[in-house]
């Protein structure tokens, strides 16, 4: 059970620690008509707003995408760039597995 945090500064630090502990998997899946989509799994949707993370990634990569079923889907193959962008958002680069 996650302890309740009252102080906003403590909550911010707690989120940063959680970000660094997320095990994230990035891979490509073939969608309809042979198109590729990059899938990002492993970000805890209870602690982080997947919609907001997807929005930031889509803006940086200039692509479409969505956040659903606890994962982020981006149109196209962006595996090489996603790891760096997630690290910029505060996630631990060592725990991001790119396939």
Q: For 41-86, what is each residue's pLDDT tens digit?
A: 988 888 888 999 999 999 999 999 999 988 999 999 999 899 999 8
Q: What is the pLDDT of residues 1-46, one digit of tens each?
A: 555 545 566 666 655 565 566 688 999 999 889 999 999 998 888 8
Question: What percent of the chain shows pLDDT beyond 90?
Answer: 43
Please give the distance of CA 32 from its chain centroid, rounded to a whole number.
23
Unique residue bearing structure tokens 């790119």: 98
Q: How far is CA 61 from CA 20, 41, 93, 94, in A?
A: 23, 18, 18, 22
Mapping DSSP to helix (H, G, I), strand (E, B) and coil, where does residue 99 land?
Answer: coil
Of 36, 38, 26, nearest to 74 by C-alpha is 38
| Residue 57 tokens, joined | 């990634």
The continuous run of DSSP H or E covering 97 comes out as strand 96-98
């Amino acid at each position: 059970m996650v302890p309740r945090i009252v102080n906003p500064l403590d909550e911010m630090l707690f989120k940063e620690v959680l970000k660094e502990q997320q095990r994230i998997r990035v891979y490509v899946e073939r969608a309809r008509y042979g198109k590729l989509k990059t899938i990002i799994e492993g970000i805890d949707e209870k602690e982080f707003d997947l919609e907001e993370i997807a929005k930031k990634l889509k803006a940086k990569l200039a692509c479409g995408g969505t956040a659903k079923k606890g994962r982020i889907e981006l149109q196209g193959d962006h595996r090489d760039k996603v790891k760096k962008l997630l690290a910029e958002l505060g996630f631990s680069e060592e725990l991001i597995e790119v396939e």
